[in-house]
């Protein structure tokens, strides 16, 4: 080992450590009481750790060496280095990781086995390890460490103590001798339970570190849409009643459909107050005759339902150069109308070798799901004493996987304001519009109702009698017993199937969430690395990041991220990074060899010891 490297390990009051190689054998049998040294001959651990023992003259039964002037880091009962060691190694000051409790005035009952320092040529073979090597290692005491490691960032936020990391009960951790796991661990007292951190079977690990590709892609697409830059050159107002960065969500030129008697355009805009994006429906050239027309908007803004796009507010404005009505809704990036998703004629495509111009027929299961979702939304509105007023394939949005939400609520109430409307008639109209939508979805045709007989025949041919009955009920003549509640009685088992699907979807998403939860834990660890590594200015000690505990951390960082293959090419192996970080976070007893960049020195340390070094270096930083 080069002399220069030695200085990295030097710390005052270090204790000598034995050279131990990573063990792949079964742990040694427990010590018999007779094998222990007489306690009066054994050196007090407090001397080793703190340099003094405050109970020395107060009954501590262990051996306390007389105070020495010289600052030699090697205490009296350290093993005498063998003659085979090179001179540099003999003189090498040794490294002792600080434990999380190092500052504690209380005696520390358990000291982790310390990392060994040796040049590669002096790694002892396993058979050289004799029982006495283990006798110096205190048995693991699960109560010695309370698990609180003071992980506090300077902003006051806390890193959660890892309940599994330090001595959780093996039974609680579910360690039951699973034959798929090797039982060759060094310390039987503290097995690493991989299944608490990742999936139970190694072959699954590769696929389960992150959420599935489909969901990630969809969420990323939404995020991208959310941050699309606003439109320029469209002559849109810079600022609109507290909203800015307007972006049209549909073409504003060319052929346009009317919304009743008016043209309307959807925009995405961002609020100045909270930076959140909203969907703004602008109705052009609308003159508000009385302020009371907005009373319906207030009622709508109080209604929250998973199948209704929430209404936020409404106002009139001249910012577009006309009198416009604007109603503000929650924004759902990448939402499509039912018309766009299913009915709009698609460009011809080859299917089964034939050029197909029509959209494929919607599966019955999907239509049932849509009908049930819409029925729930309509019921919520009717139960609140209101009417939806517009249920149309262009005013129902598909957000995510088959998720429907009614949009444009409240607009018609303002546009066709009546002081005392007959709500029951409006609700009957809702059911009629709902029925027309079911026919449109079943026939892929917005104008299906223009030829009612053909539409009914079409639905009967392709879908079940129950679905046809539901569609016919909805478009039947208004009657006292024709209510949305009545419709639910026709659903029967379909409703239960839909509920099962919903629960399955929740389970699926929770599973996906779990894998991301693990990643958040690793990000916290990486943050700690970032705080500690390469920090020359800290504590007015230019080599703070390069010495003591921090050197171990630096070598570990190299082990995780900066490995090279036999040709000197960087090893970019995400699995290695994730596995190492997981073991580090779990405080595994598994040992690894850390090699300095010049390959002149190496350390054998356990993940647990590296974890202890990181905790101590980080708490040193966060205490300042």
Ligand X SMILES: Nc1ncnc2c1ncn2[C@@H]1O[C@H](COP(=O)(O)OP(=O)(O)OP(=O)(O)O)[C@@H](O)[C@H]1O
Is 11 annotated to bind ligand?
no
Closest CA to 584 of 564, 563, 600, 561: 561
Distance of CA 211 to the CA centre of its chain: 9
Is 332 annotated to bind ligand?
yes
Q: Angle at CA 22, nearest 5°, toward 18 and 25?
A: 115
Minimum CB distance to ligand X smaller for 140 or for 259: 259
Smallest separation, CB 371 to ligand X (Å): 20
Q: How far apart (Å, rounded) are the C-alpha atoms in residues 201 and 180?
A: 8
Smallest separation, CB 267 to ligand X (Å): 9
Closest CA to 609 of 102, 99, 185, 47: 99
Under DSSP, the state recorded for 291 is G
Is 281 annotated to bind ligand?
yes
Minimum CB distance to ligand X smaller for 329 or for 544: 329
Kindly report the number of other CB atoms within 10 A of residue 600's CB atom. 13
Answer whether 240's CB lies under 8 Å from 246's CB. yes
Minimum CB distance to ligand X smaller for 409 or for 581: 409
Answer whether 302's CB lies under 8 Å from 311's CB. no
Minimum CB distance to ligand X smaller for 279 or for 594: 279
Sign of the alpha-carbon dihedral angle for 104, 106, 109, 115: positive
Minimum CB distance to ligand X smaller for 241 or for 394: 394
Minimum CB distance to ligand X smaller for 89 or for 335: 335
Answer whether 110's CB lies under 8 Å from 138's CB. yes
Closest CA to 300 of 339, 328, 336, 281: 328
Q: Which burial class, exposed, middle or buried, applies to 474 when counting CB atoms under 10 A from its CB (0-12, 13-18, 19+)?
A: buried
Q: How far apart (Å, rounded) are the C-alpha atoms in residues 429 and 484?
A: 12
Smallest separation, CB 296 to ligand X (Å): 18
Closest CA to 546 of 597, 600, 608: 597
Answer whether 73's CB lies under 8 Å from 82's CB. no
Q: What is the 3-state secondary structure (H, E, C) of 388-411?
A: CCCCCCCCEEECCCCCEEECCCCH
Q: Give 3-state DSSP helix, strand, coil % of the chain, rounded to 5.
A: 40, 10, 50
Smallest separation, CB 619 to ligand X (Å): 47
Smallest separation, CB 314 to ligand X (Å): 14
Is 394 annotated to bind ligand?
yes
Is 395 annotated to bind ligand?
yes
Smallest separation, CB 383 to ligand X (Å): 23
Smallest separation, CB 426 to ligand X (Å): 20
Rounded to a whole number of angstroms, the distance between the first and last alpha carbons of the chain is 34
Q: Specify the pairing of strand 396-398 against strand 336-337.
A: antiparallel
Smallest separation, CB 398 to ligand X (Å): 8
Is 335 annotated to bind ligand?
yes
Q: How far apart (Å, rounded) are the C-alpha atoms in residues 404 and 400?
A: 9
Minimum CB distance to ligand X smaller for 197 or for 259: 259
Minimum CB distance to ligand X smaller for 49 or for 279: 279
Q: How far apart (Å, rounded) are the C-alpha atoms in residues 342 and 396?
A: 12
Q: How far apart (Å, rounded) are the C-alpha atoms in residues 262 and 256?
A: 10
- What is the length of the chain? 624
Smallest separation, CB 390 to ligand X (Å): 9
Minimum CB distance to ligand X smaller for 269 or for 604: 269
Minimum CB distance to ligand X smaller for 207 or for 336: 336
- 404-406 β-sheet, strand order: 336-337, 396-398, 404-406
Minimum CB distance to ligand X smaller for 77 or for 330: 330
Minimum CB distance to ligand X smaller for 48 or for 308: 308
Smallest separation, CB 327 to ligand X (Å): 10
Smallest separation, CB 236 to ligand X (Å): 15
Cα atoms in the 13 Å half-sphere on the side-chain side of 303: 27
Residue 234: phi, psi to the nearest 5? Answer: -100, 5
Contact positions vs ligand X (CB under 6 A): 249-250, 257, 259, 264, 266, 279, 309, 329-332, 335-337, 339-340, 394-395, 397, 407-408
Beta bridge partners of 268: 247, 279
Closest CA to 145 of 171, 172, 108, 175: 108
Is 265 annotated to bind ligand?
no
Smallest separation, CB 374 to ligand X (Å): 16
Q: How far apart (Å, rounded) are the C-alpha atoms in residues 333 and 493?
A: 33
Bind-site residues: 281, 330-337, 394-395
Annotated binding site for ATP: 281, 330-337, 394-395
């Amino acid at each position: 080992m080069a002399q220069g490297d030695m200085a990295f390990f030097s710390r005052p009051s270090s204790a000598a450590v034995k050279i131990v190689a990573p063990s792949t054998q079964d742990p040694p049998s427990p010590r018999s009481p007779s094998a222990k040294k007489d306690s009066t001959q054994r050196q007090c651990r407090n001397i080793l750790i703190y340099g003094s023992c405050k109970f020395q003259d107060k009954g501590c039964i262990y051996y306390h060496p007389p105070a020495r002037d010289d600052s030699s880091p090697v205490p009296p009962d350290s093993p005498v280095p063998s003659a085979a060691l090179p001179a540099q190694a003999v003189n090498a000051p040794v490294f002792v990781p600080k434990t999380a409790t190092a500052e504690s005035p209380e005696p520390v009952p358990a000291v982790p086995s310390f990392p060994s320092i040796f040049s590669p040529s002096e790694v002892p073979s396993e058979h050289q390890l004799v029982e006495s090597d283990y006798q110096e290692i205190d048995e693991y005491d699960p109560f010695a460490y309370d698990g609180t490691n003071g992980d506090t960032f300077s902003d006051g936020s806390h890193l959660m103590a890892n309940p599994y990391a330090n001595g959780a009960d093996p039974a609680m951790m579910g360690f039951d001798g699973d034959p798929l796991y090797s039982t060759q661990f060094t310390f039987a007292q503290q097995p690493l339970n991989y299944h608490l951190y990742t999936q139970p079977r190694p072959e699954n690990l590769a696929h389960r570190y992150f959420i599935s590709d489909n969901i990630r892609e969809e969420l990323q697409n939404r995020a991208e849409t959310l941050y699309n830059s606003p439109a320029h050159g469209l002559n849109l107002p810079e600022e609109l009643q507290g909203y800015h960065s307007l972006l049209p969500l549909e073409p504003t030129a060319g052929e346009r459909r009317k919304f009743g008697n008016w043209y309307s355009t959807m925009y995405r805009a961002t609020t100045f107050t909270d930076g959140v994006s909203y969907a703004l429906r602008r109705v052009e050239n609308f003159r508000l005759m009385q302020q009371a027309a907005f009373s319906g908007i207030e009622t709508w803004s109080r209604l929250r339902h998973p199948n209704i796009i929430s209404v936020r507010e409404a106002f009139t404005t001249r910012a577009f150069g006309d009198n416009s009505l604007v109603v503000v809704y929650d924004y759902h990036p990448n939402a499509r109308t039912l018309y766009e998703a299913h009915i709009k004629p698609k460009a011809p495509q080859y299917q089964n070798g034939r050029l197909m111009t029509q959209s494929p027929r919607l599966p019955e299961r999907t239509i049932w799901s849509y009908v049930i979702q819409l029925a729930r939304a309509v019921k919520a509105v009717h139960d609140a004493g209101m009417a939806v007023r517009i249920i149309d394939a262009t005013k129902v949005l598909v957000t995510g996987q088959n998720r429907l939400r009614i949009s444009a609520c409240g607009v018609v109430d303002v546009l066709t304001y009546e002081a005392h409307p007959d709500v029951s008639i409006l609700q009957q109209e809702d059911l009629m519009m709902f029925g027309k939508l079911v026919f449109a979805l079943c026939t892929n045709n917005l104008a299906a109702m223009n030829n009612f007989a053909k539409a009914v025949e079409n639905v009967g041919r392709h879908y079940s009698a129950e679905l046809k009955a539901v569609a016919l009920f909805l478009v039947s003549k208004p009657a006292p017993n024709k209510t949305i509640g009545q419709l639910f009685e026709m659903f029967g088992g379909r409703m239960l199937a839909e509920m099962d699907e919903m629960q399955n979807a929740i389970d699926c998403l929770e599973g996906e969430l779990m894998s991301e939860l693990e990643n958040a834990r690793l990000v916290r660890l990486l943050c700690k690395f970032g705080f500690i590594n390469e920090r020359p200015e800290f504590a007015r000690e230019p080599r703070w990041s390069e010495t003591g505990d921090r050197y171990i951390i630096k070598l570990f960082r190299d082990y995780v991220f900066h490995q090279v293959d036999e040709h000197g090419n960087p090893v970019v192996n995400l699995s290695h990074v994730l596995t190492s970080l997981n073991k580090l976070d779990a405080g595994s007893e598994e040992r690894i060899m850390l090699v300095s960049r010049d390959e002149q020195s190496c350390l054998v340390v356990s993940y647990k010891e590296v974890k202890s070094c990181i905790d101590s270096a980080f708490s040193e930083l966060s205490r300042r």
